[in-house]
Structure 1
Amino acid sequence: MKIKEVEIKKFRSIEELSINAGNLVSLVGKNNYGKTAIFDAIQVFFQKKKLLDKDIHMFSIKELPEISITFENVSDIDIQLLLGRSYDLEYAKSLNGVIKINLSFTEGQFKAKYFLEPKNIQIPTRTLLELLPDIKYVSSIRNPEDNTFSKKNSNLRELMDLLIRNNDTTDETITIQGKELKIKDIKTELKKSEDSKVSTLSKELSTKFQNLVGHQALSIEIKVENTEIIHSHETKIKDHDILNLNSDNNSFDIQTSGTGMQSLLIIAILEAYIEHNTGDQDFILIIEEPEVYLHPSLQRKIVNILKEISTSNQIFISTHSPIVVSQLKPKELVCIKKEKGITKKIVSDPVSIINELGIKPDDIFQHSKILFVEGPDDKKLISSLINKLVTTQEISAEKADILKIVDIGGIDTLSFYTNARILDAMNHAHLTHYNFWIMVDSDGNSKEEVRTQIDKNLQEFSKIYKEENLFILEEYAIESYFIDENILCELFDTLDIEKTKELCNKYHTIYQDAKINRLQSGKGSFQNKYKPKNFFLNKENIFYEKTWGLSIEEIKTIQEVQRQWKTSNIDHYIELLPLNVLESTRLNEIISHIKTIFDKID
């Protein structure tokens, strides 16, 4: 279940406003324009916040707020539970998994009432809340007074809970007095013990109750609804520069540190979540100004992390950072402004956003030949391969200096649009002196799908865009090219060549099978489970066992790869590998494209 549309009426500075939501939504606007009001309205709908007097639009109690959210991908069972006695099979089928739920309030106590539109069927609040996706919220103001780790709903506690809960598994085992026990079996035994206790208590209470009412027609029954093992966690930062590591004096609560330090921990938590995520999740993450007090390089990093999480979950952010916005697609942006105290949505066309936020092009003015790539790792790999070709005299050093490689985060981002506008203007002034190429991963799509989307994005720049200058790679991402026994065994001599070959072949087979069936399973699920990055991330054994079907021996091999692999060392790996080895692997595809580009450079 995910949000498709949010409609807000009469809430704070919002008179009436609607937002279409994809997997990633970014609210863009200046301070005090109403971004927080939109997020708070969503939280009120999910009952994470209560409606207060200050939330009433223009403080007029004549018209109380209304918040409507349209959900898609709603299962038939969830629809049946929501409709309850009003359930009608034909009507349920006609919804096609899309429902619109309206939240309104009664005067006085602001009692919340939920209705399924358009039939105005009232939905029990408890039933709805049990079915809604989990929602996590991180405010832009992260201070010790409001958000200590000890508080139930603090910013960082919400994220830590997400990480720890995701890391829990009922298949986990512990050893007690030499006997291995599963956690789920321990819970079962605990429940049996508690059932026995409450059964005795039920009989005792029933006897006393029946004596009081004077008959035995009624009795008291106590049941154990659920048995959980609950852990309470405390998270601190330990300063290893302080000599006495056994003392509590060298550790401190993260919330007593600055906002910048907290933002770094948020990045670390989200990175850890990606590594530990073993399957499809269903939560909504709201982060106000994720870029707060972060260096520009870390702003780009957190955007990339949020993009990755959004393949299987829904992300809402607010920002007025040119760096963050430049990494996003225009369709992911919702631009708002205030007119006479009223928050309004405005047209978010690329030109107006670029002008409003001052998004700047990369340093391309001194270069007439430019290669656009999608990410920093792509740039590092291609630069390293060019250096290798220069070293082996496949291309000249002079030509290599002419080509500028620019990482723009994606061909459909505002960063690329900004650079393309500059190239278009310079080409017009210098009579086609400038030329550019594009090299992109397939991201699990077919080449035709990628080409169609890029052609659509570049319609405005038809005078400078040449179709033959577009290189769409066969593989999902650059990590795919390193899933090769010849490369891995050349780099890491502890690997067994036959076991590594078997593992690499198995990955490529399950990837291709999953790619064929990605429409049935869903693109987000396919990307989350089978992306090549999972080959190098240290995920839980259960992920590789259940999702990829790896044996214990294959899991040991992949863990040996992960123990030694570092994506940040890609340039070093290319330097170590002989050119003939590189050309004998899938990397020859990229090498061939590079040679084609330099053949066209005079």
Structure 2
Amino acid sequence: MKINKVEISKFRSIEKGEFNLTNLNAIVGQNNSGKSGIMRALNSFFNPNLELRFYNDGTNLFSTSYSVPRIIISFSNISQNSIFINYLINDIVKIKQEYNKKRKKLDYSILDVNKKYKVLTDDELKSLHTEIQFVLIPSERGLINNLENETGVLRNLFDKFFLENYSQRDTLTPKVKKAFEYFKDKALKKVSKGIESKYLAKRGFEITIDSKYPLSYELFINDLAIKISEGDRFFKLEECGSGIQSLVAISVYKYLAELSHSNFIIGIEEPEINLHPQAQKELIYSLVEESNNNDIQIVFTTHSTVLIDQLEHSDIILIRKIDCVKRKFKSIIKQLSNTFWDDYNLDKLKYNKFHRFRNSDFFFANHILVTESPVDSEVIRNLLLKDRINIEKNGVSVLELGGITSLKYAFYLIKELALPKTFVVDKDFFLPYSNGKKSTSRDSNGFFKYKDTFKSTKLIPELLPIKAKRDLIEKYFFSNHTKSLQLTPDFDLICMNYNLEMDLLSTSNGKNLTYSYLNIDEENRNSNYLFENRDERIKDLDVLLNIINNSEKRNLPYSMRYIIKRFENLK
């Protein structure tokens, strides 16, 4: 029995949201976005006694209105001997938990074959919490050593172990009693007599020192703790890094799952705490390996791009906060579907090649700036810095395409995750060159010439989905690019008049700065010479930054001024 899908409504900051669980999932988002809300929803469903008081005091409620907090979980991999086998609908069992405000109780119901919810019986509820269990491992991993608490992890593990191995005949307790009798005979009796001899024996009293509890193997349990050895050195678990603590915790719960004959879902809060990047990579590889076993699912919250870079994007659950009328903010949950690549006709291998091992900080950003190349990114970054706009300080993440053919991967990813963004692209993405290729499509000054109609690509209508405005932009791209710049920001898009370097060299100021910087002879000081004889050099970052750093805003081309305007409004 495994979790297939989770639906949450009116719980904490989550008004309504859903996500799928695979064997290993990461919950990502900015601070205070609601990541812990997902963990607490799972904890509520599987460990209701731990969460009930947070419903009663209002912590787990979305608002103070009559809305009902509800968690619905769909389960797959139902065994033939499960009590829920008769509730299968398309190989899925769906169980709902709702908070009853009047009775201050959490109620469970199950979707039957007539597609109506019926209340779970006591036996069914007991079976639910036996067949599959959720354990939340907090950021303080040392709690796993807690044996004195009857709900402690190790205490639970030993109870299961002894029940499994010694339920028929307790062979350990007699040995414990024998050892204690030896201790009593050799030490306790002598200490007792020593105390007696002072005053009490003369008054007819005898002293006996004995165990205050019935003797059994449990005598040893409360003083046990996990230690980690490395060479000839031993460390207490709480003294180890959180990565080791996480792996030990997972191992304990996996063994507990084996003894309990049930499946475990393990939730880990920020497993990367106190781990350097290489250790984080080792940790995520270990988590991937562990999650490949069928008896365990792992879900963790994280702020680490190192961890999520190793996962499929469909295994990442993004949670973001937005403004809300009923409360200060609400959380929205986004996740790529399993059919994401088929839905948009994307090559998954090429998609992974583009995104895998790239910096994934855009998952945590306030806004994403998408550029065609690293040079474009650096030019725009410096352009904005000159205007006192620090994009990193404002939570803007830069995603570099490494070529315009990758735009579709970034576009559909950002679209599905509903992330705020700005695309900065060259005109040749939209319009074909007038003569079919760059070299023969230039005017008398060396600038590119284009045809007057859009390329017939599927992505253009999706980037510009309003047909009336799309038709206007198509017209203005060819005849009056400045007017197009008044329209494209409505679609989170800024298009160069030509391309970034050619736009910067389209002004007299830009050309003159470049002539001087490159020591161009007087007779060659024309744009044709730059574009045909220095075509590679004018693309270099230092050349472009020379223009940016030595130009007033009024001397920049309109495309650059609109980029500044766009990010001024985001501050």
TM range (shorter): 0.3 to 0.5
Pair member with larger Rg: 2
| TM-score normalised by L of structure 2 | 0.44
| TM-score normalised by L of structure 1 | 0.41
